[in-house]
Chain A
Amino acid sequence: MLLILLGVLILHIIILILLIVSTAASAWSVADGKGTDLWYSCITSNGGYHCKPSSNEDWIQAVQALMILSVLFCFFSLIAFLYQLFRLVKGGRFFFTAIFQILASVFVMCGAIIYTVMSPDDRAHTNFGYAYVLAWVAFPLCLISGLIYIVLRKKE
């Protein structure tokens, strides 16, 4: 039992780290010398490293909000897991932890989908960066983690 709990906790922390890196790293779209992401577009040109704020279009702001919310909810579910670990009655399920974790996975899915659909149609020269890939990796992991919490029962 202790081993299972430890494994679940480690998975949760890994997911949280993935989400934080994906939200903060400057690499959702990568092209030749520049990396763009939710917050800044940076170009390594002959003058050096220039950054300008990402276009303030509505969809980018929605993706920003959804990624931040997913990090917050994953964090809340971690707190709820630790809380319920010590306060739940024997045989109880980690209900709140599961709810927050599943909501976090839904948010990261929505954010990644919106970014995929709305990012500028310049596929000839730009590819998706590693932060974008991390977001898509975090989504199923988060969902699986949430489902594990639904199934998990506290034994003594």
Chain B
Amino acid sequence: PEQSQAIVIYTGWERHALVGSDVRLSCSFFSWRWTSEDVSFSWTYRPDGSRDTISIFHYTRGVPYLDNKGPFKDRLEFVGNPGRRDGSILIKNLDLSDNGTFTCDAKNPPDIVGRPSSVRLLVFENPIQAGVITGAIIGVVLGLLVLIVVIYYLMRFLVARRVFSLSVKHGKKKKEGSQQRQGPVPPADPSKVKAATSEKKKQESRKDKK
């Protein structure tokens, strides 16, 4: 008879999930021998605060057996690949009552001496309502857009006003300087100045874009 050696079983330590979502509990093992045809996986469940352990899944001789009477009826699915030493299960539509410890025990005959490994499942209610994050992202992006547009036009307006006030000063100095010219000097037309500065700005921005 072959001598049995130790087998080491790996699962996660803890899994967190939201109410209503699905969670995948992974289970794998290490063994010195090749994966035998009689490899078996079993999952058992112990609810938080209880001392009872129930069996919810068993895989042996190529056939998975799922819980069809207990708390996980119709919610379990076998998503593992026994040939690749993967005995993972998928639990769908989680509820707060699913909090507890899940234990995976794998056997790879003749390597059967091993310690089953446990993963703790924590199920949370989602503190954020549906749609709050959606609205927040959309609101922030559109708000930034509006802000950028407003700042852009504000800068243009301020620059145009500055140029206008400078040109008025320049015009006044010219007036004082040449007192000979008595003819009516038309005051600097603000709309013309604005058009001139916006044309300059357009040319400058076109140069920048190039």
- Chain A contacts to B: CB under 8 angstroms: 53, 55-58, 61-62, 64-66, 68-69, 72, 89, 92-93, 95, 120-122, 124
Contact = CB atoms under 8 A, between A and B. Distances in A.
Interface string B31-69: 000000000000000000000000000000000000000
Interface string B124-135: 001011111111
Nearest to B129: A56
Nearest to B141: A69
Contact of A58 (B24, B77, B128, B142): B128
A3 B190 CA distance: 41
Nearest to A61: B133
6 contacts: A56-B20, A56-B129, A61-B137, A65-B133, A65-B138, A95-B209
A69 B135 CA distance: 11
B167 interface: no
Contact of B24 (A65, A92, A121): A121
B122 to A, nearest CB: 15
Contacts of B128: 56, 58, 61
Nearest to B206: A92
Given A92-B206, A120-B22, A122-B90, A53 B141 contact: no
Contacts of B150: none
B21 A57 contact: yes
A61 B132 contact: yes
Given A57-B126, A120-B22, A122-B79, 11 more contacts: A55-B18, A55-B20, A56-B126, A56-B130, A56-B131, A61-B131, A61-B132, A64-B131, A65-B133, A65-B137, A120-B21
Contacts of B126: 56-57
A123 to B, nearest CB: 9
Nearest to B88: A121
Interface of B: 18, 20-22, 24, 77, 79, 90, 126, 128-138, 141-142, 202, 206, 209
A69 B138 contact: yes
For B79, B141, B209, the residue with the greatest tally of chain A CB atoms inside 10 Å of its CB is B141
B21 A65 contact: no
Contacts of A124: 79
Nearest to B78: A124
Nearest to B142: A72
A61 B90 contact: no
Nearest to A98: B209
A61 B79 contact: no
Nearest to A89: B202
B22 A61 contact: no
A53 B129 CA distance: 12
A66 B126 CA distance: 21
A93 B210 CA distance: 10
B19 to A, nearest CB: 9
